[in-house]
Structure 1
């Protein structure tokens, strides 16, 4: 961020931050804050750094001075990735709300994350008591009169903001009356038009293009048997175990065996994984099979592949499959980062993948590859599992589809057919729909503009998917 500011600033304004100044304790941080106060300058501060200082219960003069400066001195507060402090129960949001300047700007490409109330938490940060404004109250009353969900309304406390948020969420996600959805969206847009502003990213329009597919895969007979057992599990266990089953059922068997001896599935070493890979029947695992097929196609066309999963074990399996089948090596043709990767390893892996002619594939934990990582060396992206928060997947796609990309980017979001993952996919689509309708809607939009289109595999415009190698297990192909 600091480098970008330095590149674009029209006058020489001093920049301050704790990291480059190695200001690790409160006394050192206070020295930096005093330098910032003395002249017109910019202070860069991480959300966690800010929250930690503000929640410091120490009674020392140094701690109190740090807090007072951060609350009273800023003339303008700019929140990059401003959806981060969206939870009203966190110290982060409560601390930011205490900053006294009325000039607050939130920058976010994914403002809607999981629930309407999170958007209003951010709006209230920028414009305190936003819903109590006369203009807002008029629209709120109109929305409450539109929604007709008797079963839900009886359970909600009428007149509370929570009731409003839940009614809006329910209407936009589950109401079958599209006209009512549109009416509520129009109300939301009217209410927020003076505080929410959409900035069209012309830089993305200049890129070669983005083709985004959802690929629903028929499971093998072995996988179908395992899926029947998933319904007995709680939601989170169902998702984590399901990710193994959809990849390959042998992965679940290995994890169960490892866990029975007191280990964790994520701790399975290469030796154990290699034993599995040595005897694996790829036809039993449709996602593992799809992965190797698309990897081979990328190799034949000279393209690099970027693969995301929210779980470590499937990533390890894909790494060892690439080693066995392609005779590739980690940190030469194959690169991988997870939440445990340190910053040095991340930087080296990203740089090598983007610049090395030997690099073929980058495997990443989807949440570890967040904002700021550029993987423009890849032109094919494989999303191995469904994220209930659609913005996480959108940000993952943005690692390759961003300024600096020289090729058209193709995205393949894999979904296991007739499984709990397909149910999650439908929930995710509804959340994505809310965001698009709220922030991108216009009067020319119709119902069809907000839903993915089912396309013929043979006429999808992607030579990879039109190959028999990938078509064999596809049940449904959708295109954004």
Structure 2
């Protein structure tokens, strides 16, 4: 490549013979000295020298120059004498002129060229990460083809910024308020952005930081005036909320929009909702969805979302259901025939290839994983207190629940009809049903299914805290009376033990963990974390539960902040900033519903989700409040579940939904745990159907038995485990030696779970269950039955033999426990004390212990080690 060609690519005007090198090296170079040699390429509106001044002062150009292609350096040397001015210019510090591909527009301090006369300005491009540049290119590629699509990056990867950079390129923005705007947005209509009301202000702020658009908010009392400016071309970007757009759809759908961007696009998963129908009426083909959870609950939600942004891109609804939805669900069934599995694999591969034309999906691990310390997602099964178990059992015996459980049985009146079709369609002697039908004693068209949701809500409240089912004095009199009758029925003889029917407002009463299993475990875990200087995010779906947890924090003396639905929007960011900057703030109480979006709490390294949600994306969003760009420590998440309760089914369904999403969206090979098939009455299995929801699981290790069972037709058969992961570390040595999930008697299905002093029955890492973290190569080796052994690989392990399996299992378990006790003794701790430390320690601390232990073993005589 000649020097003149290189200069053309750099768009520099050739230096005249009369100009001196001193003139060229001045940082105040006149922008007019740089002209366009290529008329097909649009130069940056800010001068190259202005861009140089933006760079850091400590940049070493000579080091950067060594990284450039040799041919470029040689050409510069050859023309050094006759082009002295250019060589002097190249020695100016703080700019990377050359790129390895020698293509102007590819460097971070140059415009990002998307097409002829279309570019992301240098002032924006220099602040984008590499994956964000790829996202901008993806959006513009769809735009140039007059197509819509989905930007499905993980939460925290900057989807908002990518959208603004894309719009800046389309509208010809520079990002510099002082630059001329005469050619910006020529012949372009306005852009509509639809988003949750909680992030409207965030969108406006980001536009003001990144570019020079004319932005208006169509929300609130003055929205009619704002909309009038669009018709006069006074506004380029209009931001509105989902509800506002739905209400004013008749007005807004009449406008010809250039681009429509839908933030949190998974809100449009239901094709029968009025919001979905309203968005279909938007007059543009260039619709772009931004979401970190492309699919939440069902594969058909995937079709609904793509049919909105790319109408007809996935065929008809019936075709998609028959060709993709049904084969993928049945192929994931635990006992699916081999031909079903093969068909599902073929359809999965085909679906992914089609989706990737309109979908760009990246994870944190793929993009900024090298900039973060990592995350551990622990699922901890906490034992309910004795009174909780008794109340839970009484709830299952109520006439309302029994009606639902027995609805498929033959009616006792001798009729050939089922109970739900005959005498037991209504429950006049129930506790919940009469209140719902107080104005209609004959019942409704949905009876008895109308009481399913209220019954499930009560079971979840009992699993979390018994105070939640007591009458609320702020409710109306009728509801208080109904809750009083319910509390009387389920508390029974334990009424005095729980403090009566009325809500306990005493400080000591609410902060007492005696009758709440999950609070008991939380109290012990937090005590250890606070001693290590950790900062904790504590999420709960219930505001009443937050009130109770707040009393616990006050009694323990922890400094905390709180954010829920009652927190004014104007104060939320100040609370976040105070928690991130104040060393004294130890805990942040957050409502899952209020804190799911827009919060950046990177100072916290422990995240506790007190109650699980049916929708797995809610829990994942809560985790990502801390695990995002800017986090400097290893993040550990603890999901607390009440063992033997409905929450185990909630979590199992989360796994089912996450695996389906990984299969349909990413084409991952997932283990087949469950026999149930969603929306299929013939294969309800262990997950689906009303009877499963109201099962009594208190005498089983339900989740562990499913996830570690033998004899099922999995892609990778898992071995049975004594106790998975961290749960075993907490058990007393006698329980660890004697307890096993194996059963020699196949008829013995009921086992009581041993409980350690922390109130934890067992636990595992969610990433070990959701196999997408490691692709297809996921197995559950017996040697990883405890977290200490899976995290500290230097401990010797024995391979399991296929002959004498039970004997080898016992020998292996004894060997592992011996090694575990040796490490605890080396640390000068008892086994249980070391288990507590291990759960609270970071990965780096664990690795340091193992390095010290290994060096100690090498130095000490063998007989000393045996004595230990």
Residues in 2 aligned to 1:260 and 1:53: alpha-carbon distance in whole angstroms: 34
Q: Which residue of 2 aligns with 1:192?
A: 355
Q: Which residue of 1 aligns with 2:463?
A: 246
Residues in 1 aligned to 2:665 and 2:717: alpha-carbon distance in whole angstroms: 13
Q: Which residue of 1 aligns with 2:285?
A: 102
Residues in 2 aligned to 1:278 and 1:194: alpha-carbon distance in whole angstroms: 58
CA contact (8 A) 1:209 1:409 kept: yes
Residues in 1 aligned to 2:296 and 2:608: alpha-carbon distance in whole angstroms: 22
Q: Deviations over 1:109-153 (max 9, x none)?
A: 1011122121111111121123438xxxxxx9xxxxxxxxxxxxx
Residues in 2 aligned to 1:33 and 1:84: alpha-carbon distance in whole angstroms: 29
Over aligned residues, Cα RMSD in angstroms?
3.7
Q: Which residue of 2 aligns with 1:119?
A: 302
Residues in 2 aligned to 1:476 and 1:296: alpha-carbon distance in whole angstroms: 20
Residues in 1 aligned to 2:568 and 2:667: alpha-carbon distance in whole angstroms: 41
Query: After the TM superposition, which residues 25-174 of structure 1 pair with which residues of structure 2 at under 5 Å, given as runs?
Result: 25-32=223-230, 34-36=232-234, 41-55=236-250, 63=251, 66-69=252-255, 72-74=256-258, 76-132=259-315, 167=326, 170-171=329-330, 174=333
Deviation at 1:318, TM superposition (A): 0.5
Residues in 2 aligned to 1:209 and 1:449: alpha-carbon distance in whole angstroms: 28
Q: Which residue of 1 aligns with 2:533?
A: 302
Residues in 2 aligned to 1:6 and 1:110: alpha-carbon distance in whole angstroms: 17
Q: Which residue of 2 aligns with 1:413?
A: 639
Residues in 1 aligned to 2:323 and 2:579: alpha-carbon distance in whole angstroms: 47
2:619 is the alignment partner of 1:456: no
For residue 387 of structure 1, the aligned residue among 613, 618, 625 is 613
Which structure 2 residue ranges, 5 or more long, are not aligned? 1-157, 176-210, 402-450, 484-501, 672-713, 731-754, 768-868
Q: Which has the higher helix share?
A: 1
Distance 1:96 1:205, change over 3 A: farther
Deviation at 1:304, TM superposition (A): 1.0
Query: After the TM superposition, which residues 317-466 of structure 1 pair with which residues of structure 2 at under 5 Å, given as runs?
Result: 317-326=548-557, 328=558, 333-442=559-668, 447=715, 455-457=724-726
CA contact (8 A) 1:16 1:32 kept: no
Which structure 1 residue ranges, 5 or more long, are not aligned? 56-62, 134-139, 141-158, 266-270, 462-468
2:393 is the alignment partner of 1:228: yes
Deviation at 1:472, TM superposition (A): 3.1
Residues in 1 aligned to 2:613 and 2:627: alpha-carbon distance in whole angstroms: 19
Q: Which residue of 2 aligns with 1:18?
A: 216
More deviation, 469-478/288-297: 469-478
Distance 1:93 1:168, change over 3 A: farther
Deviation at 1:90, TM superposition (A): 2.3
CA contact (8 A) 1:218 1:473 kept: yes
Distance 1:253 1:375, change over 3 A: same
Deviation at 1:172, TM superposition (A): 6.1
CA contact (8 A) 2:218 2:227 kept: no
Distance 1:170 1:414, change over 3 A: same
Residues in 2 aligned to 1:473 and 1:430: alpha-carbon distance in whole angstroms: 27
Deviation at 1:377, TM superposition (A): 1.9
Distance 1:2 1:22, change over 3 A: farther
Residues in 2 aligned to 1:260 and 1:349: alpha-carbon distance in whole angstroms: 33
Residues in 2 aligned to 1:275 and 1:208: alpha-carbon distance in whole angstroms: 42
For residue 513 of structure 2, the aligned residue among 249, 262, 282 is 282
Residues in 1 aligned to 2:717 and 2:262: alpha-carbon distance in whole angstroms: 31
Residues in 1 aligned to 2:470 and 2:507: alpha-carbon distance in whole angstroms: 8
More deviation, 9-18/283-292: 9-18
Deviation at 1:43, TM superposition (A): 3.5
User: What TM-score results when the alignment is normalised by the length of structure 2?
Assistant: 0.44
Distance 1:121 1:471, change over 3 A: farther
Of structures 1 and 2, the larger Rg is shown by 2
Residues in 2 aligned to 1:427 and 1:107: alpha-carbon distance in whole angstroms: 25
Deviation at 1:366, TM superposition (A): 0.7
CA contact (8 A) 1:16 1:44 kept: no
Residues in 2 aligned to 1:308 and 1:107: alpha-carbon distance in whole angstroms: 25
Residues in 1 aligned to 2:670 and 2:476: alpha-carbon distance in whole angstroms: 58
CA contact (8 A) 2:385 2:515 kept: yes
Q: Deviations over 1:294-325 (max 9, x none)?
A: 22222211111101111111111000111123
Distance 1:175 1:278, change over 3 A: closer
Query: Secondary structure of 1:132's match?
Result: coil
Query: Secondary structure of 2:621's match?
Result: helix
